Amino acid sequence: MAGSGKAHLRTDAENLLQVEDLTVEFPIGKDRVVYAVSGISFDIRKGETLGLVGESGCGKSTTGKAILQLPRPTSGSVKLRGQELTELEGQELRAKRTDLQMIFQDPISSLNPRRRIGEVVGEPLRVWDSGSDEEHWEKISAMLDAVGLDPDVARYKHPHEFSGGQCQRISIARALVMEPDLIICDEPVSALDVSVQAQILNMLEDLKIKYGLTLVFIAHDLAVVKNISDRVAVMYLGKMCELSESDELYANPAHPYTNLLMESTPVPDPLAVIDDSMLSEGDLPSPMNPPSGCRFRTRCHLADEICERAEPQMQRINDNHYVACHHPLVDVAEVEVAVGN
C-alpha cells in the first residue's frame, strides 16, 4: 500500500490544514522502531469533514494526535492556516493548540470524575480566556444547551451521574467552548450503543453547520464514516491507500484493501450475499517490520512481483478520487505518477 506521493493534495484554494509526509516512529529499545505512520499527506478545507478509516494499528489515531503535536511527529509538516506547527515550541505551541481540540473514544474516562460538569467544560476558558466568571458561564451554558443538556441541571453534577452518550455530549461541549478551527474526533461513537450513536452523529452534523466546524473523524466503522464524512482516507499500516469523496469511494472502491474492508462489513440484510472471494485470512503485519513495496501485499490477492519491489504512488482516478495501488480495481484515468518528494 502505498501511500506515498502527493498527487491528491489540492492547490486550487486555501486549505485549513495541510499535512505533508507525516511520519511518526516510536523507538522501543534495542534499535527497534515501530513505524506507526510512514509519510502520509492530506489536506482539509474549512467546513469539511475528513474521515480516517482502517483496522486497529493502522496509525489513524496516531495521525490524529500528531496533528496536535502529541507526540511530535518524527518528520513531516503540519500546517494550520499556513502556519507550521512542528516548528512551534513552548507557549506558542500551547496557545496554538487552543485552535485544535480533540474528542476521545471513551467518554467516561475522558472526563475527570472529581470535577463538576460546569468546571469540566469551563476549564479551557479559565486557562485561556480573560473574561469574568459570568461571561464564562454564559459560553458554557450556550455550549451545554447546544449539545442537548440542560445547563442549570448539568452544572453541578459529576460525570458519573451521566450515561455514556451524555458524557460524550459533555466532551463535545468542552471541545467546542474554545471555538476551535479543527476538531479531531478519535472514535467518538465506537463505545456507544447504536441508538445513542445515531443521536451523537446527528448532533455532530448539526453543530458542524451551526458553528462551521471542520472535523477529522477517526473510526473503524465504514458506515459511520461514510455517513459523516465529505472525504474519506483509508489507511493501512501507517500508509494511505486511497482518498476519495465518500459517496464515490463506496460506489467505486479502487484499492483492494478498501474493497476488503467493505466486503467484511456486515450488512443488516439477510438477503445480502456474503462474498468471501476477497476475504483475506491474514492478520495485520507487524508495524515494526512492515513488508517491502506495497505494505498491503501480504494480504492482497492481486499482489505480484512489482508490489514487492516498488511502493505504489498516489494516482488520480478523477478529481475527487486518488488511489495508491499498482493494480487498482477501477481504471486510472490518466496515469500521473507523482514524483516522490
Partner 1 sequence: MAAAPQSPRLTEQVSEDPLLVVEDLRTHFKVEAGMVKAVDGVSFTLDRGKTLGIVGESGSGKTVLARSIMRLNVSPNAITTGSVRYNGEELVGKSAKQMQKLWGVEMAMVFQDPMTSLNPLVKVGRQLTEHLRYHLGVSKKEARLNAIELLKSVRIPEPENRFGVYPHEMSGGMRQRVCIASALACGPKMLFADEPTTALDVTVQHQILNLLQKQQEDRFMTMILVTHDLGVVAGRTDDIAVMYAGRMVEKAPTKHLFADMRHPYTEALFRSIPKTSNPKHTRLSAIAGRPPDLINPPPGCKFSPRCPYVQDRCRSEEPQPQPAAAPGHSFSCHFPVGTPESRAAFDANFEAGLPQTLAAAGEIVATEELVETSGAVN
Residue 91 interacting with partner 1 (CB under 8 A): no
Rounded Cα gap, residues 242 and 2, in angstroms: 9
Among positions 280, 298, 318, 320, the unique one binding partner 1 when judged by CB under 8 A? 280
Half-sphere exposure of 43 (CA within 13 A, CB side): 18
Rounded Cα gap, residues 240 and 42, in angstroms: 9
Nearest approach, Cβ of residue 71 and partner 1 (Å): 24
Angle at alpha carbon of residue 234, lines to 269 and 293, rounded to 5°: 125
Which of positions 167-186 make contact with partner 1 (CB under 8 A)? 169
Residue 269 interacting with partner 1 (CB under 8 A): yes
Residue 45 interacting with partner 1 (CB under 8 A): no
- Burial of 219 (C-beta count, 10 Å sphere; 0-12/13-18/19+): buried
Nearer to partner 1, 63 or 229 (CB): 229
**Site pattern 115..144 for partner 1 (x: CB under 8 A):** ------------------------------
Residue 223 interacting with partner 1 (CB under 8 A): yes
Residue 198 interacting with partner 1 (CB under 8 A): yes
Nearest approach, Cβ of residue 75 and partner 1 (Å): 28
Nearer to partner 1, 77 or 199 (CB): 199
Among positions 261, 303, 307, 325, the unique one binding partner 1 when judged by CB under 8 A? 261
Residue with cell 475528513: 50
What one-character-per-residue DSSP string does 62-129 give? Answer: HHHHHHTTSSPPSEEEEEETTEESTT--HHHHHHHHTTEEEE-S-TTTTS-TTS-HHHHHHHHHHHH-
Among positions 197, 214, 244, 259, the unique one binding partner 1 when judged by CB under 8 A? 197
Residue 193 interacting with partner 1 (CB under 8 A): yes
Nearest approach, Cβ of residue 232 and partner 1 (Å): 9
Nearest approach, Cβ of residue 171 and partner 1 (Å): 14
Residue with cell 455514556: 164
